[in-house]
């Protein structure tokens, strides 16, 4: 019988590559292998780079006739920008709660920013800013062939840096709903970083919508 610990940490099969998520979860019913050049929505979106990944999702940079999602690393924002970010996060959180959902785990790693400097750029211009994606081989530790659901290569995330002073008219995206749950569900644990855990966790109290005030509050304060 497979234990919950085995399910959370599957046996290592593939050679680890820096910047890549758990390759053992690429299987039927698990992660979907994505390649540079993959197209979605009848060719409207084309994958051009990888931006990062978390416990429940991977963020890819896609060239689009409309717009792309960008993850930006920033430090201290000007006061007016910080106020705008805070307001957008709280408005988004209010909408999430109105849908009967507890977001949980809403911290800086799950708040993305749209980056206008890449709007309308060609793939060549994007690679001029980010560098071309590095394709690292996916190999099994036992040297046997990879399974059909495993990608042929993995890609480290692109590194995007922009001074916070240059960010104006910032638009926020709340991402990664892998830890969200309905408000009528019973939860007794969270996977939130320990420094951002709400008091309810330590006192064994009901984990409801109020936890979505504590964690973002700590994040926005810091």
Per-residue pLDDT reduced to its tens digit, 90-147: 999 999 999 999 998 888 888 888 776 666 777 888 788 778 888 888 888 888 888 8
- CATH number of domain containing 52: 1.10.510
Radius of gyration of the chain (CA): 19
**Model-wide pTM > 0.75:** no
Q: Would you state the pLDDT for residue 100?
A: 93
How much is the average pLDDT of 41-67?
72
The domain of 188 spans 4-221
Residues 6+ apart with CB under 8 A from 165: 78
Per-residue pLDDT reduced to its tens digit, 194-210: 888 888 888 888 888 88
Q: What are the angstrom distances between the C-alpha of 12 and each of 156, 157, 199?
A: 19, 22, 35
Least confident span in 64-68, 90-94, 112-116, 169-173: 64-68
How much is the average pLDDT of 79-94?
88
Total structural domains in the chain? 1
Spatial contact of 153 and 138, defined as CB atoms under 8 Å apart: yes
């Amino acid at each position: 019988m497979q234990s919950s610990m085995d399910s959370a940490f599957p046996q290592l099969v593939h050679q680890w590559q820096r910047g890549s998520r758990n390759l053992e979860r690429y299987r039927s019913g698990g992660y979907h292998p994505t390649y540079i050049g993959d197209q979605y929505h009848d060719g409207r979106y084309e994958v051009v780079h990888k931006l990062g990944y978390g416990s429940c999702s991977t963020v890819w940079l896609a060239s689009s006739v409309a717009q792309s999602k960008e993850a930006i690393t920033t430090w201290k924002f000007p006061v007016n920008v910080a106020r705008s970010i805070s307001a957008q996060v709280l408005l988004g959180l209010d909408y999430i709660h109105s849908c009967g959902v507890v977001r949980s785990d809403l911290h800086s790693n799950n708040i993305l920013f749209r980056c206008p400097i890449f709007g309308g750029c060609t793939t060549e211009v994007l690679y001029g800013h980010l560098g071309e994606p590095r394709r690292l081989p996916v190999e099994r530790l036992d040297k046997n062939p990879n399974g059909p659901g495993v990608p042929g290569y993995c890609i480290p995330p692109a590194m995007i840096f922009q001074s916070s002073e240059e960010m104006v008219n910032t638009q926020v995206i709340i991402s990664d709903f892998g830890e969200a749950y309905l408000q009528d569900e019973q939860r007794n644990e969270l996977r939130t970083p320990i420094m951002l855990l709400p008091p309810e966790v330590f006192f064994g109290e009901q984990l409801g919508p109020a936890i979505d005030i504590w964690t973002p509050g700590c994040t926005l304060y810091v």
